[in-house]
Amino acid sequence: MKLKTIILAAAAVFSAVACSQEKPQEDFTSYVNPMIGTGGHGHVFVGANVPFGFVQLGPTSIPQEWDWCSGYHDSDSTVIGFSHTHLSGTGIGDLFDVTLMPAIGPNAPQRGTENNPGSGAWSYARRSTQVCKPGYYKVELERYDIKVELTATERVGFHRYTFPASEHANIVIDLENGGCWDDVTDSGFEVVKDPEGRIKAVGGYRYSTGWAKNQKIFFWAEFSRPSKGFYLAENPRNESERGVARKALYGYYDLGHTDAGEQVLVKVALSPVSVEGARADMKAELPGWDFYATMAAAHEAWNKQLSKIKVKTPSADEKATFYTALYHTMVAPSVFNDVDGQYRGSDDTVRQGDFQNYTTWSLWDTYRAAMPLATILHTDRINDFTSTFYHIYKEQGDLPVWHLMGNETDCMVGNPGTVAFADFIVKGFDAGIPADELIKAMVDTDLRDDRGLDLRRKYGFIPADLMRESVANDMEYAIADGALANAAAYLGYPDIEAKYREQSHSYRHFWDPELQFMRGRKTDGSFTEPFDPIYSRHETSDYTEGTGWQYIWLVPQDVDGLVNLFGSREATIAKLDGLFEAPDHIEGENASPDISGLIGQYAHGNEPGHHTIYLYSMLGEPRKAAARIRQVYDEMYFNDAEGLAGNEDVGQMSAWYVLSAMGFYQVEPASTRFWFGLPLFRRMDVTVPGGALTITAEGPLDGYISAVILNGEPYDKPYIDYKDIIAGGTIKYLLAK
Residue range 244-265: mean pLDDT, rounded: 88
In our burial notation (b when 16+ CB lie closer than 10 A, e otherwise), range 584-607 reads eebebeebbbbbbbbbbbbbbbbb
- 226: three-class secondary structure by DSSP: strand
Question: For the segment 129-178, what is each residue's pLDDT rounded down to a tens digit?
Answer: 999 999 999 999 999 999 999 999 999 999 999 999 999 999 999 999 99
Compute the chain's Rg from CA coordinates: 27
Sequence-ordered list of residues with C-beta below 8 angstroms from that of 157, at least 6 positions apart, any chain? 48, 55, 57, 82, 84, 150, 267, 268, 269, 270
User: Using CA atoms, how far apart are residues 517 and 509, in angstroms rounded to an integer?
Assistant: 11
Question: For the segment 589-645, what is each residue's pLDDT rounded down to a tens digit?
Answer: 888 889 999 999 999 999 999 999 999 999 999 999 999 999 999 999 999 999 999
Cβ-count burial of 418 within 10 angstroms (0-12 exposed, 13-18 middle, 19+ buried)?
A: buried
Please list the alpha-helical segments (H only) found in 464-518.
Answer: 470-491, 494-503
The residue among 720, 675, 673, 670 whose CA lies nearest residue 497 is 670
> What integer pLDDT is reported at residue 243 of this predicted model?
41
User: Using CA atoms, how far apart are residues 288 and 715, in angstroms rounded to an integer?
Assistant: 55
pLDDT at 244 over 80: no
> Does residue 534 contact residue 582 with C-beta atoms inside 8 Å?
yes
Pairing of strands 156-163, 146-152: antiparallel
Write the CA distances from 528 to 110, 414, 469, 520, 522, integer angstroms. 49, 21, 12, 5, 7
95 Rama class: left (phi>0) / alpha (psi -120 to 50) / beta: left
Average pLDDT across the chain, whole number: 94
pLDDT at 260 over 80: yes
Question: For the segment 183-236, what is each residue's pLDDT rounded down to a tens digit?
Answer: 999 999 999 988 888 898 999 999 999 999 999 999 999 999 999 889 888 654
> Does residue 398 contact residue 445 with C-beta atoms inside 8 Å?
yes
Pairing of strands 673-676, 719-721: antiparallel
Residue range 4-33: mean pLDDT, rounded: 54
> What integer pLDDT is reported at residue 235 of this predicted model?
56
Residue range 701-727: mean pLDDT, rounded: 98
Taking the CA atoms of residue 721, residue 575, residue 625 and residue 713 in that order, the dihedral angle to the nearest 10 degrees is: 40
User: Using CA atoms, how far apart are residues 207 and 216, in angstroms rounded to an integer?
Assistant: 5
Question: For the segment 330-349, what is each residue's pLDDT rounded down to a tens digit?
Answer: 999 999 999 999 999 999 99
Question: For the segment 77-113, what is each residue's pLDDT rounded down to a tens digit?
Answer: 999 999 999 999 999 999 999 999 999 988 888 899 9
Residue range 246-269: mean pLDDT, rounded: 93
> What integer pLDDT is reported at residue 539 of this predicted model?
78
pLDDT at 652 over 90: yes
Query: Using H for helix, E for strand and C for coil, what is the string for 348-409?
Result: CCEEECCCCCEECEEHHHHCCCHHHHHHHHCHHHHHHHHHHHHHHHHHHCCCCCEEECCEEC
Q: What is the DSSP letter of 295?
A: H
Sheet of strand 402-404, all strands in order from the earlier edge strand to the far edge: 361-362, 402-404, 407-408
> What integer pLDDT is reported at residue 108 of this predicted model?
82
Long-range contacts of 455-459 (CB under 8 A, 24+ apart): 456/506, 459/523
pLDDT at 416 over 90: yes
The residue among 653, 690, 86 whose CA lies nearest residue 376 is 690
Residue 300's H or E segment, with its range, is: helix 291-306
Cβ-count burial of 723 within 10 angstroms (0-12 exposed, 13-18 middle, 19+ buried)?
A: exposed
Query: Using H for helix, E for strand and C for coil, what is the string for 570-633?
Result: HHHHHHHHHHHHCCCCCECCCCCCCCCCEECCEECCCHHHCCHHHHHHHCCCHHHHHHHHHHHH
> Taking the chain, what is the end-to-end CA distance rounded to the nearest angstrom?
59
Confidence of residue 239 (pLDDT cuts 50, 70, 90): very low
> What integer pLDDT is reported at residue 246 of this predicted model?
57
- 338: three-class secondary structure by DSSP: coil
191 Rama class: left (phi>0) / alpha (psi -120 to 50) / beta: beta
Q: Which amino acid makes up residue 461?
A: F
Residue range 270-291: mean pLDDT, rounded: 98
Provide the percentage of residues in the chain whose pLDDT is more than 90: 90
> What integer pLDDT is reported at residue 141 of this predicted model?
98
Query: Using H for helix, E for strand and C for coil, what is the string for 311-334?
Result: EECCCHHHHHHHHHHHHHCCCCCE
- 688: three-class secondary structure by DSSP: strand
Residue range 467-491: mean pLDDT, rounded: 98
pLDDT at 15 over 70: no
β partners of residue 654: none
User: Using CA atoms, how far apart are residues 47 and 33, in angstroms rounded to an integer?
Assistant: 12
What domains are defined for the chain? 33-306 (2.70.98.10), 360-508 (1.20.1050.60)
User: Using CA atoms, how far apart are residues 232 and 246, in angstroms rounded to an integer?
Assistant: 13
pLDDT at 17 over 50: no
Sequence-ordered list of residues with C-beta below 8 angstroms from that of 402, at least 6 positions apart, any chain? 361, 362, 363, 364, 408, 409, 410, 411, 412, 416
Sign of the alpha-carbon dihedral angle for 594, 98, 403, 430: positive
pLDDT at 12 over 60: no
pLDDT at 544 over 90: yes
> Does residue 597 contact residue 646 with C-beta atoms inside 8 Å?
yes
Query: Using H for helix, E for strand and C for coil, what is the string for 558-588?
Result: CHHHHHHHHCCHHHHHHHHHHHHHCCCCCEC
In our burial notation (b when 16+ CB lie closer than 10 A, e otherwise), range 209-230 reads bbbbeebbbbbbbbbebebeeb
Q: Which amino acid makes up residue 551?
A: Y
Cβ-count burial of 128 within 10 angstroms (0-12 exposed, 13-18 middle, 19+ buried)?
A: exposed
Residue range 488-514: mean pLDDT, rounded: 98
Question: For the segment 425-436, what is each residue's pLDDT rounded down to a tens digit?
Answer: 999 999 999 999
pLDDT at 322 over 80: yes
User: Using CA atoms, how far apart are residues 44 and 328, in angstroms rounded to an integer?
Assistant: 8
Pairing of strands 691-698, 729-736: parallel
